[in-house]
Amino acid sequence: MFSYPEPYGYTHGDDGYAVIDFETTGLDARDADRIVEVGIVRIDSAGQELGSFSTLINPQRGVGAGVVHRIDDAMVRDAPVFAEIAPAILAWLEGTVVVAHNAEFEDAFLSAELARAGLRPPRLPAIDTLPLTQSCVPTHNHKLHTVCDWAGITIDNPHTALADARATAQLLPVLLARRHRPLRWGTPLRPLGGRLSGRYLPRETLTLL
């Protein structure tokens, strides 16, 4: 689904970026694991935040790794299922380069969830910040919180989808500034047919006891 930079092709950086992060029930997108939270942050080519979107998602099964994402079954009971918010996700991604840290993970889950919803996963230009950090950041590992510490970026609520997406959005300009050439993609920007209407349940709206 995601198309990564190539030596030749389209330059899309001026169109802005949609930085995405998922919290999931587990690690296997091909089996029974599902997305339980999505966070998307739109930024312009200079890294300025233009808007954000987040919602919990009812995975129609147990939420799984609550010790990591701090989401429990009660929090997602009244949340929309993925098919209900898929059009909004596509609307937020439309006309941009998609960015994620370890983007193969987001790619696998987004492709699987769209397929379950009866939607054909589109081909999207993308940047994976993980290999970018591996090539230019001298840290002992390249987990998101480690490289953000190196860059002086604070993650206020780690392992929440919106906070991790926002941290990645702040990290991206730092990484791109260390490159000497613009990125290019073999995939053009295409209409995705998304729409912003729908029912959402951001984690921030919940009162946690």
Catalytic center residues: 159
Residues 195 and 67: beta-carbon distance below 8 Å: no
Q: How many beta carbons lie within 10 A of that of residue 96, not counting itself?
A: 22
- Residue type at position 8: Y
Which residues have CB under 8 Å from 1's CB, separation 6+? 107, 110, 111, 121, 122, 123, 124
Distance CA 148, CA 163 (A): 12
Q: Among 63, 64, 118, which residue's Cα sits nearest to residue 87?
A: 118
- Residue type at position 195: R
